[in-house]
Structure 1
């Protein structure tokens, strides 16, 4: 109770969902330090005190009461056009403009979380507090005379660190997650580009991995073509394994020979674990994407800044009308039993229903 009261008095907490999220993180810290969870009865009493005393005292509003911004297809089109044609912001290179173009397209098409495309890992504090709280205790031996940890402990520590230090790649979209290929259309017989993108680093993936593969094909409007963006970035990085693929013309001249129906364009081995969206040699961070999107959306003429999650909400609402609930939950990596879409992602705006106007039917009668 003292912790929640200190948080609300010291910081600008406006939502009861925010205050309760701090308490959930406090419970995780308590379990990590003490090796046991908070008593269930104490937890219930804290919840009652939080709702009955803390919320009315600090006037904490319910979550989602003000609505959340949602970006539809028209908003995505306007943002992409502004990015290419009208944005005069400060960019270190044209690659940053292409990075934003590709990230916007991927967010709008797939409804992926921004952390699946860019690096969203929280940097560790440099004051040594993280090591004091969460440093692995299995590497220390109970015997004071033995200065080296047993092999079993060292093996266990390496296994636990595979998702962090031993994975050899950041938690972002890398070239090894993308499969670019030329396939033969089953009806027309023409060769066309197709791309499979595997999203791995979703929310909670360390405990509940749900890798999801999205398929992309060529679009009629070039501004929506995510395949072109990936090809441009790969050519800038010289990531194609074939030495002849050095220009856009040569890439699009790749065709299937004879009875072959699919030709895969492979990446160089040294580029497999490198991120696709980068600023210089560093992967794009979430705060960089958030700040650039906020600036572009305000410069474009929006009354309120657009957040990266607005693409996900818009994509979820489109799938909710055109796909079964099981497909929608699979694409969003939601557990169906929690009904996450109905509680957090459903849009309160109602679209117009296209019907035949009354005057048209009367005119036909006359």
Structure 2
């Protein structure tokens, strides 16, 4: 029989609790359909048969589903991961809304149906609306300062829905030290973007709000026309690029978003909203009175708390017997979901088992998502050296995540460069912003409901949607394919590079001034006439510098040209470098502009581009193993790098850091290397994996470095 607590899972025996639920539903149906109520004796006979006879005859299962508990450290970790480490593409407002939903679970411990559309009330559009929020500026009695509070009205609590007399209010305060964990900052950003506040349209206006000498507080509510508009809304089903203007997010969508986020963050157990409610109840149980806990959790009596307590006992009896202080933080971690973390992979046996219960199309889609996420996974556990006995950093306030994630990879750093507002929020984790405007502005920018088009710097189509430099027409405006939009934006970038190069070459020729040698500030005046004899004369001068150059301690030769950091293996490579990069004195050479996809910057000289590539190679860390192409919103923000070229020390920095913006070009280039690949060690300079066959190399290049290559070319 199907177990109703699992999604389509068939068990050998039905659970006792499931039979009990079916019996209670049957009683309600009898009362509703037949207008009859069973007697007390009849109900007792049936209950005894279910609770005693069936288990004794082994006709049902007495097993109990383990109820995981997600403590505050888990919610805080997910918020930090969502902003600073999540490489999955998401609408900016949906990321902000997901962060706010996690904070609501963290600080309020609500049931999902109390703040979003429940499956029991489909199409009701009920949840937290703008009319349920009131901003309060209050004078702090203990200090001579003003504090912002957020009053939240709960209209849809269990057993109290549709009864305004039983409404409940929660208060949240603005946290200036941790804006990324502050629900008030999230709400203000959403409200200002929706123009929902009465008399306030910008952060600067909110910052100018003051209290009179006699007033204790002032309140800012929403506009009358915004009272029925949900704060947290879902994506439109038509375009999937725009957030709905008036439709609230559904529980099923939030549950799926939370489950996927947990898998990407390295949790090997499936995350559900109710796990955070249990964690919230456990925290309240030791901090407030039973009456306050019942009121906060919306419970009728104290018996409901038994379902929220973990089945794993958290009592340190060894410490009690020996007269020592209990290691409560250690036991709390073992009881909570934070112990189910594995950052070596984004997938796990539990996650995979859950997917096997889905229908095949959905299972295949989630399997592809999991594989793509695992191929880019760069997170591993890093042990903390400076921790106290409880496993927390010194000075921890209890909400700090009890582990440290590694620094963002080059892949993640490229994402943050493209998403500047998100980068500011990540910066809040290290430095406290000084003003209210600095704390709120990035949240306002991310709250736009429409996903604006993103282009490369200084590249925009003309008014007809085509290329302003040539006759190339852009993709159709109505539902264009993502690949076509990506190709068109790359075309705009290439035309911009060519136009800038022609302009630079033209302006240089018009000036007509010769170049001076910048080798250790030599100052020699090069010739600028056309012809190979002048080029040879310039190189003869540079060869004299090369002959007198000394090698470094590692045997390599350093280019001493001003602002050049290139290092080459020998003098012959140094001569080639000088001829290619610095000896651009004859006017027969055309200027070339380079563009760095990761830093979104243009470079107009060969020397500057060479120095930039050299710096890229120096900054490469042990976790920067991703070499594939990464696109975000139809633009390349992390270009592909050949895994063979980047590990070839005999090449120049510009050759090693050659960028590929199209997968076809990168695949063709890598396959040419693979035909002559004989080494059994990964060619990447930061990877030492042993590769037994070319097939293993292909799998390793894709799973670890994100490189694609045709299997037919590898002779597996």
Give yes or no for TM over 0.5. Answer: yes
Partner of 1:292: 257
Partner of 1:68: 67
Between structures 1 and 2, the one with greater helix share? 1
Structure 1: gaps (5+ residues): 125-163, 361-366
TM-score using structure 2 length: 0.39
Partner of 2:314: 350
Partner of 1:88: 87
Counterparts in 2 of 1:187 and 1:6: CA distance versus 1, 3 Å: closer
Counterparts in 2 of 1:6 and 1:98: CA distance versus 1, 3 Å: closer
Spell out the pairing of 1:64-213 with structure 2 (5 A cutoff).
66-91=65-90, 93-122=91-120, 170-206=125-161, 210-213=166-169
* Contact 1:239–1:268 (8 Å) recurs in 2: yes
How far apart are residue 320 of structure 1 and its match?
0.7
Instruction: Report the Cα distance in structure 2 between the residues aligned to 1:22 and 1:247, rounded to whole angstroms.
Output: 54
Instruction: Report the Cα distance in structure 1 between the residues aligned to 2:313 and 2:205, rounded to whole angstroms.
Output: 46
Partner of 1:31: 31
How far apart are residue 213 of structure 1 and its match?
1.6
* Contact 1:17–1:62 (8 Å) recurs in 2: no
Instruction: Report the Cα distance in structure 1 between the residues aligned to 2:63 and 2:208, rounded to whole angstroms.
Output: 56
SS at match of 1:119: coil
TM-score using structure 1 length: 0.74
* Contact 2:134–2:152 (8 Å) recurs in 1: yes
Asked whether 1:311 is paired with 2:312, we answer: no
Query: CA offsets per residue over residues 228-284 of structure 1, 9 Å max, x none?
Result: 111011112111121xx2223332332223322212112110111222111113111
Structure 2: gaps (5+ residues): 235-243, 328-388, 390-716
Instruction: Report the Cα distance in structure 2 between the residues aligned to 1:351 and 1:322, rounded to whole angstroms.
Output: 17
Instruction: Report the Cα distance in structure 1 between the residues aligned to 2:82 and 2:95, rounded to whole angstroms.
Output: 7
Q: How many residue pairs align between the two structures?
A: 304
How far apart are residue 40 of structure 1 and its match?
3.2
Instruction: Report the Cα distance in structure 2 between the residues aligned to 1:179 and 1:35, rounded to whole angstroms.
Output: 46
Query: CA offsets per residue over residues 115-171 of structure 1, 9 Å max, x none?
Result: 1111114267xxxxxxxxxxxxxxxxxxxxxxxxxxxxxxxxxxxxxxx9xxxx743
Instruction: Report the Cα distance in structure 2 between the residues aligned to 1:177 and 1:207, rounded to whole angstroms.
Output: 14
* Contact 1:27–1:37 (8 Å) recurs in 2: yes
How far apart are residue 307 of structure 1 and its match?
0.8
Considering Cα pairs closer than 8 Å and 6+ residues apart, tell me whether 1 or 2 has the greater RCO.
1
From 284, 292, 300, the equivalent of 1:335 is 300
SS at match of 1:318: helix
Instruction: Report the Cα distance in structure 1 between the residues aligned to 2:151 and 2:315, rounded to whole angstroms.
Output: 32
Instruction: Report the Cα distance in structure 2 between the residues aligned to 1:5 and 1:48, rounded to whole angstroms.
Output: 23
Structure 1 range deviating more: 110-119 or 273-282:
273-282
SS at match of 1:322: coil
Instruction: Report the Cα distance in structure 2 between the residues aligned to 1:94 and 1:247, rounded to whole angstroms.
Output: 19
Counterparts in 2 of 1:47 and 1:215: CA distance versus 1, 3 Å: same
Asked whether 1:214 is paired with 2:170, we answer: yes
How far apart are residue 7 of structure 1 and its match?
8.6
* Contact 2:135–2:150 (8 Å) recurs in 1: yes
* Contact 2:155–2:161 (8 Å) recurs in 1: no
* Contact 2:133–2:222 (8 Å) recurs in 1: no
State which structure, 1 or 2, has the greater radius of gyration over its C-alpha atoms.
Answer: 2
SS at match of 1:216: strand
Instruction: Report the Cα distance in structure 1 between the residues aligned to 2:224 and 2:4, rounded to whole angstroms.
Output: 48
From 208, 212, 227, the equivalent of 1:272 is 227
Partner of 1:325: 290
Query: CA offsets per residue over residues 305-335 of structure 1, 9 Å max, x none?
Result: 1110111111111111111111111111112
Query: CA offsets per residue over residues 269-301 of structure 1, 9 Å max, x none?
Result: 011122211111311111111111111111111
Instruction: Report the Cα distance in structure 2 between the residues aligned to 1:116 and 1:6, rounded to whole angstroms.
Output: 26
Instruction: Report the Cα distance in structure 2 between the residues aligned to 1:34 and 1:90, rounded to whole angstroms.
Output: 54
Instruction: Report the Cα distance in structure 2 between the residues aligned to 1:227 and 1:322, rounded to whole angstroms.
Output: 23
How far apart are residue 351 of structure 1 and its match?
7.0
Instruction: Report the Cα distance in structure 1 between the residues aligned to 2:113 and 2:79, rounded to whole angstroms.
Output: 20
Instruction: Report the Cα distance in structure 2 between the residues aligned to 1:227 and 1:296, rounded to whole angstroms.
Output: 23
Counterparts in 2 of 1:235 and 1:31: CA distance versus 1, 3 Å: same
Q: Over the residues paired in the alignment, what is the CA RMSD in angstroms?
A: 3.1
Instruction: Report the Cα distance in structure 2 between the residues aligned to 1:207 and 1:61, rounded to whole angstroms.
Output: 37
Instruction: Report the Cα distance in structure 2 between the residues aligned to 1:7 and 1:188, rounded to whole angstroms.
Output: 54
Instruction: Report the Cα distance in structure 1 between the residues aligned to 2:162 and 2:47, rounded to whole angstroms.
Output: 26
Instruction: Report the Cα distance in structure 1 between the residues aligned to 2:265 and 2:202, rounded to whole angstroms.
Output: 33
* Contact 1:240–1:265 (8 Å) recurs in 2: yes
SS at match of 1:23: helix
Partner of 2:549: none
* Contact 1:121–1:171 (8 Å) recurs in 2: no
* Contact 1:111–1:311 (8 Å) recurs in 2: yes
Instruction: Report the Cα distance in structure 1 between the residues aligned to 2:119 and 2:27, rounded to whole angstroms.
Output: 21
Instruction: Report the Cα distance in structure 1 between the residues aligned to 2:216 and 2:207, rounded to whole angstroms.
Output: 16
SS at match of 1:339: helix
Asked whether 1:22 is paired with 2:22, we answer: yes
* Contact 2:155–2:162 (8 Å) recurs in 1: no
Spell out the pairing of 1:47-58 with structure 2 (5 A cutoff).
47-52=47-52, 54-55=54-55, 57=58
How far apart are residue 206 of structure 1 and its match?
4.5
How far apart are residue 6 of structure 1 and its match?
12
How far apart are residue 104 of structure 1 and its match?
0.9
Instruction: Report the Cα distance in structure 2 between the residues aligned to 1:49 and 1:260, rounded to whole angstroms.
Output: 66
